[in-house]
Structure 1
Amino acid sequence: MKNVSIFVPESAVLEAVADPRYLFSAANQFLQSSGRPPLFEVQLVGLNKEVKLHDGSFSVHTDKLLEEVEQTDLIVIPALFGDMSSAIEKNKEAISWIIRQYEGGAEVSSLCVGAFLLASTGLLNGKRCSTHWAFYNEFQEMFPEVEIVDGSIITEENRIYSSGGANSYWNLLLYLLEKYTDRDTAILAAKYFAIDIDRESQGAFAMFNGQKSHKDAEVKKAQEYIEENYYEKITVDDLANLVAVSRRSFERRFKQATNNTIIEYIQRIKIEAAKRSFEATRKNINEVMFDVGYTDTKAFRNVFKKITGLTPIEYRNKYNKGAVYN
């Protein structure tokens, strides 16, 4: 048997507690239906016997207190809700337990922004991690020693797993299920829960909002210029001259402030404008491409797919059902 311990944190997202229990319990039924014994012993564990969520609207009753769990095979850390610093503080007593279980051989997984609690253990230092795309900047500020994998749905490193935003955690759960059982069982679960089993990127769902939480006035000025003139051909030299800073120094400061190179930032602003156009207008691919300052179809397609995980046509067809397909 595989012991699966789903930690029920204070400030948890209720669905991220219920769904992993549902999946692994259903997997036991799938196995039994095929003539095999159930594999997973699933339990909800916590700091208290009852955890109230969403201002008391819901209560989760745990099967065991953390101190009662001597050893487990897999820890699942659900997504957190609200202010991340506050949520970590409310659950700090669980940190030593997670570390101890990991050092004892357990695998540890985080769902969506559960990565914040996982990272607070220090187990992710020097490692890669996935989390919700909207929390990248906050995560990087809080945990600079952890490498965010931009756009990734699932990240695995040294028995530690993390998933991208919101419902992306289903892909991680299916990934773990396949690892513990087999491909056929994972496919059956994917069909049962209507999940795209091999989705690899959350890029198509991400909305890029320029990182402006820094205090570098010259970089902010350049960011604002890019956002107001994305339809133009903008060069690094143009921007360096605009803010009267040497190119080399400006490139270094821009990367430090935004976590993007200047070219990456320009591309992301242009692609975000293209996405909005595909979603809201009936313009064809070439029209949108020219509107955001691209003249090379191949270059536009490559950059668009790199950032969103979809081609321009795929994105338009997915998010604008009224588009003219040409």
Structure 2
Amino acid sequence: MSKTHQTEIGLILYSGAQLSAVLGLTDLFGMANRIATGHGQNNAPILRISHWQAEAAAAAPHRVFDSSPGTLPVTPTALILPPTLGEPMTAETSAPLARWLRDQHAGGAILGSVCAGAFVLAATGRVDGRRITTHWTYAETLQQRFPKVRVDADQMLIDDGDILTAGGLMSWTDLGLRLVDRLLGPGVMLETARMLLVDPPGREQRYYSVFSPRLTHGDAAVLKLQHWLQATGAKDMALTTLAARAGLGERTLLRRFQKATGMTTTEYCQRLRVGRARELLQVGGTTIERVAWEVGYGDTGAFRKVFTRLVGLAPGEYRRRFGTGQACGKQDGTD
């Protein structure tokens, strides 16, 4: 096949990059290559995989691995920032790499990130005003460091054309398969997913994330209320009760609670209730109706609606996917 038909995907080895993700993506794209070749697609682009070492003091990364050695260098079609098992890179330490990535993007390269790789991506400035995702535990920090970026940690994968971002540590499979879908077609992508025994893209990070409320805001009255809500499971959401517990007027509470926690009292209480519901659904065969009542909902329909909106799965679907106990069949009712 002609060199001009090669499509290069570069994987960036920055400081602390997770090597298992780099090698896993290398294998995933290699498998897709073999499948595409086996399909006999005469003009199908063959993926060329390269690794790029990013040195802290260097102005630009350099290739340290090339799956097509001896061929003429080509401009990468896509560059991917893998996750890290350490702390995310700061804007200062990632500045040389961010400048290089910005130049590559200006030349037409797709930029992608997985998990904490989003911090380097955000440092390029190329995602200002755009929606990206990262691991849910990093979402608040990423938003604080880069306020112009729109962080949506509910999503496992966000495909924004020239920018691809994936959330959790293992979501490199989702990003890799999405690139295979785009570059080699859906047939090759699905067969690659089947061979590797992984789900095709379509999962959501909120299936797995745990509500982690903001507690370091410095508002003692709001913090006192948060502790009470946690202890009681937020079963009483009445504004009069919440204001009395905080020792504030209702309008003052609403304003200060939103400022301190980043959400309304209603949304905060719903997330606490749904968090408890997830625990109940994961163990044992309690009916959906009983779970709804246990977390404070007298109306099962309202519970299902709130749960599905926040988690992305109906209660029965969540139990079937994540439950560790024996389901009770008809007790679940309809979703």
**TM-score category (smaller protein):** 0.7 to 0.9
1:192 aligns with 2:195: yes
- Going from structure 1 to structure 2, the CA distance change for 1:198 and 1:106 (only over 3 Å counts) comes to closer
The residue that corresponds to 1:45 in the other structure is: 52
Structure 2 residue identity aligned to 1:41: R
Aligned twin of 2:60: none
Is contact 1:108-1:160 (8 Å) kept?
A: yes
1:75 to 60, 79, 104: 79
- Please tell me whether residue 260 in structure 1 is matched to residue 263 in structure 2: yes
How do 1:96-135 residues align onto structure 2 when only pairs under 5 Å count? 96-135=99-138
C-alpha distance in 2 between matches for 1:208 and 1:272: 7
Q: 1:303 to 1:82 in 2, by over 3 A?
A: same
AA matched with 1:92: A
Amino acid at match of 1:39: I
Distance in 2, matches of 1:84 and 1:198, equals: 25
Contact 1:16/1:111, CA 8 A, preserved across alignment: no
- 2:69 is aligned to none
Residues 321 and 4 from structure 1, CA distance in 2 versus in 1: closer, same or farther, beyond 3 angstroms? same
| Alpha-carbon spacing, 1:248–1:126, altered in 2? closer, same or farther (3 Å) | farther
**Partner amino acid for 1:14?**
L
Report the Cα offset of residue 150 of structure 1.
3.6
In the alignment, which of 63, 66, 77 is matched to residue 65 of structure 2?
Answer: 63
User: Residues of 1 paired with 2:203 and 2:79: CA distance?
Assistant: 22
Q: Cα distance 1:25–1:258, how it changes in 2: closer, same or farther (>3 A)? A: same
Aligned to 2:28: 23
Distance 1:70 1:183, change over 3 A: closer
Does the 8 Å CA contact 2:157/2:201 hold for their aligned counterparts? no
Cα distance in 2 for residues equivalent to 1:235 and 1:140: 31
Between the aligned partners of 1:198 and 1:70, the Cα distance in structure 2 is 28
Q: Distance in 2 between matches of 1:9 and 1:103?
A: 21
User: Are the equivalent residues in 1 in contact too, given 2:18–2:82 (CA < 8 A)?
Assistant: yes
The 8 Å contact of residues 153 and 167 in structure 2, kept in 1 or not, is answered as no
| Farther-moved stretch of structure 1 (129-138 vs 313-322) | 313-322
2:218 counterpart of 1:215: yes
The equivalent of 2:160 in structure 1 is 157
User: Alpha carbons of 1:24 and 1:85: their partners in 2 closer, same or farther (altered >3 Å)?
Assistant: closer
Cross-structure match for 1:204: 207
1:315 equivalent to 2:318? Answer yes
After superposition, the Cα gap between the structure-2 partners of 1:259 and 1:69, relative to the gap in structure 1 and judged at 3 Å, is farther
Partner of 1:178: 181
Q: What TM-score, normalized by structure 2, do the two folds share?
A: 0.85
1:147 aligned partner: 150
**Residue in 2 aligned with 1:12?**
17
C-alpha contact (below 8 Å) 2:155/2:204 kept by paired residues:
yes
Query: Where does the alignment leave 5 or more consecutive residues of structure 2 unmatched?
Result: 1-5, 56-62, 67-71
SS in 2 for 1:79: coil
Give me the whole-angstrom Cα distance separating, in 1, the residues matched to 2:247 and 2:13.
52
Shift of 1:184: 0.5
CA offset at residue 136 of structure 1?
Answer: 1.7
Share of identical aligned residues, percent?
28
1:29–1:38 contact (8 Å) kept in structure 2: no
Shift of 1:133: 1.4
Cα distance in 2, alignment partners of residues 145 and 219 from structure 1:
27
Distance 1:5 1:276, change over 3 A: same
> Residues of 2 paired with 1:70 and 1:31: CA distance?
21
**What CA deviation, in whole Å up to 9, does each residue of 1:200-241 have, x standing for no partner?**
312221111222132222221221121112252212332233
Q: Tell me: CA distance 1:14–1:213, structure 2 relative to 1, closer, same or farther (3 Å).
A: farther
Taking a change above 3 Å as real, the CA distance of residues 245 and 128 of structure 1, as seen in their structure-2 partners, is same
Q: Equivalents in 2 of 1:20, 1:220: separation in Å? A: 43
Aligned length: 311
**Quick one: which amino acid aligns to residue 191 of structure 1?**
R
Aligned residues of 2:204 and 2:312 also touching (Cα < 8 A): yes
Q: TM-score, normalised by structure 1?
A: 0.88
Q: Secondary structure at the match of 1:5?
A: strand
CA distance 1:231–1:266, change in 2 (3 Å):
closer
- Measure how far apart 1:183 and its partner are: 1.1
Compute the RMSD of aligned alpha carbons: 2.3
Farther-moved stretch of structure 1 (71-80 vs 236-245): 236-245
8 A contact 1:231–1:291 mirrored in 2: no
Range with bigger deviation, 267-276 or 115-124: 115-124
Q: Please, which runs of 5 or more residues in structure 1 have no aligned partner?
A: 49-60
CA distance in 2 between partners of 1:41 and 1:70 (Å) = 10
Distance 1:221 1:69, change over 3 A: farther
